[in-house]
Structure formats: C-alpha cells, structure tokens
Amino acid sequence: MIGQEENVARLRMLLTAFVKGSHMPFTLLEGEGGVGKTLSLQALVREIDDLKLVLIPSDYLGQIREYAQRMAEEPWRTVLYIDDMSFDPRHYESFKIGTQGMKRFYDNVTVMAAANPSSLEHLPPEVLRRWPIRIKYERPNLANGAMLRKVFKANCERVKIEYDPGLVTAFVKKHKGALKMLAPSAVYDFLQEVKLTRGL
C-alpha cells in the first residue's frame, strides 16, 4: 500500500499478535474511499496463517453476535469485517447489545470496520466507543510526481501491465488540476481501462 506503510505495519502487528493468542480490541479503519483500507486488510489476511476474514454487510450489524458465535466454534482466528460501515438508526441498539462484552466470550473472534469521514459524522458516541483502536488512512498526494510514479508502478503490477512513463503523462493530462483530490484507486481504474482498450 503506497503511502500507507505505517498503517499496514501497525495492522500486521495487531493481527499477528491476535493469531498468537493476544487480545485484539475492535478496530476501525478510517479514511476516504479508495485509499486502501480494505485492500491492506485483505492482503494481510492472505499473508498471515490461521486467520480468516468474514465480511458483514451494514444491514446485518444487529446479527453480529450470531456471526461471532458461529466463528468461535472454528479452530482459526476470525476477523468479522464491516466494509464501508454505515448505521441505520434502527441498528444502533441491536449493535450495542450484540457487542456488549463480546470479547470476553469469543477470544478467537474480533471485529473490524472501515468507514469514511462522512459516515463517522453520523455515528453516535456510544457506537464510536465500541472501537478503541482507530487507524487513519490519509489520501496520498498524487500531485507529487514521485508519489504518483510509485502508485503507478504498484498498480501496474496489480493490473499486470508493463509500467510506461507515458501512462503517467496521460493520467496527469486527463486529471490536470484535480490530482490532489484523487484517491490511489483512480490510478487502478485508469490502468484497467487502458488494459481493456488495448485488449491485453
């Protein structure tokens, strides 16, 4: 994850300790869409043995204890993950009740979530208190030439397309004046479009 190395290192430390038997409090990944919150977690789950990831839609937050009970019976460690967390007010109470004291009962299950700043603004304090660990993902500045090239090279590997400085030039021309506002995922989308156009 270009520009997110410290966050990835912290997550790796938490998850590795969790797999080895340590307590892992509920953890919230904060940041705008496309900055690598979910991607970094998925990469670490693939990297760390005996760790599973279970995705939970926001609509099912009231059933989080049932998910935890089911996963607690398995021999591995499980992260229940809420991607792009948002709360319907009707789910507040059921979520609070469902997670009350949950860590005491399910040592091999923890809960993580990703949320953008606009979603967090609407969450009541009693819900936010459920997340003692909060990791902030800042958006890398793609207007910085060196950063943009690093993001391009990393995404060229993901898309399996050869790195070409001409692609960077074309991207800058396409998004001139808006580079500071773009998330790294814009580079990935651009390269996917290039690959499709070229029939690669």
Per cent of the chain over pLDDT 70 is 92
Q: Is the pLDDT of residue 200 over 60?
A: no
**Average pLDDT of span 60-73:** 86
Each residue's pLDDT tens digit, 106-151: 789 999 988 888 777 777 777 788 888 999 988 888 899 998 998 8
What pLDDT is stored for residue 121 in this prediction?
78
Q: How confident is the model at residue 60 (pLDDT cuts 50, 70, 90)?
A: confident
What pLDDT is stored for residue 117 in this prediction?
81
> Contact at 8 Å (CB) between 18 and 78?
no
- pTM reported for the whole predicted model: 0.77
> Contact at 8 Å (CB) between 143 and 178?
no
